[in-house]
Structure 1
């Protein structure tokens, strides 16, 4: 399953841009649900006003991520009057949606695990310490460990240990990813104001409908006919 990380950012813009980030985040999550793409909000930075965000970082997992991102990556424009500064004349506000480059996630192979059989401890009568049925599993690359003594079967404890270590590795990957995106502020400085991929307008934040114009098409057809004559 493919995985990508995107960041919606106000580009350190004013409070209006932070309001737009929060609105765009909702639209993106709705679009992800419709496209049946798994997502997780990894990190967000709140704005100074309630209901605003300076940035939001999302991890996406699924198929056809490239097609989805082609429709969303870039500058998003909102056309509307500020509700935070009623007398402000500006009516065009911009935020950015960018892909965040991250390190490859750690995978877990059995060859990466060091197993150690030890004697179980705790309740179980006089038989509990006679057989080394407990398993300590250590992920060699990270040093993460689990100790399993759920069963009297060493084989069963080993299977459980692998599963629990997989869960620990998944948590490790998630925490590492969160730490990475918290330190990636380049997108806040490189927001391009223009050529938006999406445009919203009004206080209700509706998608701006494109006006259909056939005038330019008719002129192009006439020009093509002239060139053929």
Structure 2
């Protein structure tokens, strides 16, 4: 399991849009790799979140995380908010958010688990029963899914672990100490060479 922090840092509103685009692209890549992806973000941010936490779990989670954390993400696009603005480069800081040594337990009354049918890797191992599990944290609405276990019981345990990691990450980000991590990620954006690069309104990946 890997946990990532995506942040616009102290960048302008366009960087928040870049974070929103990046979350969609990361979730799509994870889905294509049959990797479960859970996201915690502030849905009230109309333009996009200033920061978001992503929990990746699955056989390719490490590979995906390493690709996305090789450097700051660069989005090259004319500002959709300020058409006459000269700047076209917008950055997103992406860093590993270390997992806790022990994921905290969740109160049973705060979680609803739902089972559903989901396919396995590449559709090769379609579940014959509804063994995939979606864990929903009722107070926050955050959701984590597990479909890679061999039984509903195993998937329930996996979904709860991922949900707890998501909630723990959000709690850590809310602490004063985590604010330094956000600023450090932004400073790294300004100093370092970009890692992943996307272009245009469609957020097209450029290799």
Distance 1:187 1:8 in 2: 11
Query: Which residue does the alignment assign to 1:85?
Result: 82
TM-score (norm 1): 0.56
Distance 2:68 2:166 in 1: 24
Greater relative contact order: 1 or 2 (C-alpha under 8 angstroms, separation 6 or more)?
Answer: 2
Q: CA RMSD in A?
A: 2.8
Q: How does 1:1-229 map to 2 (within 5 A)?
A: 3-41=1-39, 43-45=40-42, 50-73=46-69, 74-106=71-103, 175-183=167-175, 184-190=178-184, 191=186, 192-193=189-190, 194-208=192-206
User: Alignment partner of 2:16: what SS?
Assistant: helix
Deviations 1:109-152 (A, max 9, x none): xxxxxxxxxxxxxxxxxxxxxxxxxxxxxxxxxxxxxxxxxxxx
What's the offset of the Cα at 1:15?
Answer: 0.3
Distance 2:44 2:104 in 1: 36
TM-score (norm 2): 0.62
Q: Which runs of 5+ in 2 are unaligned?
A: 106-156
Query: Which residue does the alignment assign to 1:130?
Result: none
Distance 2:103 2:89 in 1: 43
Query: Which residue does the alignment assign to 1:161?
Result: none
Q: Which runs of 5+ in 1 are unaligned?
A: 109-165, 210-229
Question: Cα distance 1:177–1:202, how it changes in 2: closer, same or farther (>3 A)?
Answer: closer
Structure 1 or 2, whichever has the larger Rg, is: 1
What's the offset of the Cα at 1:176?
Answer: 3.6
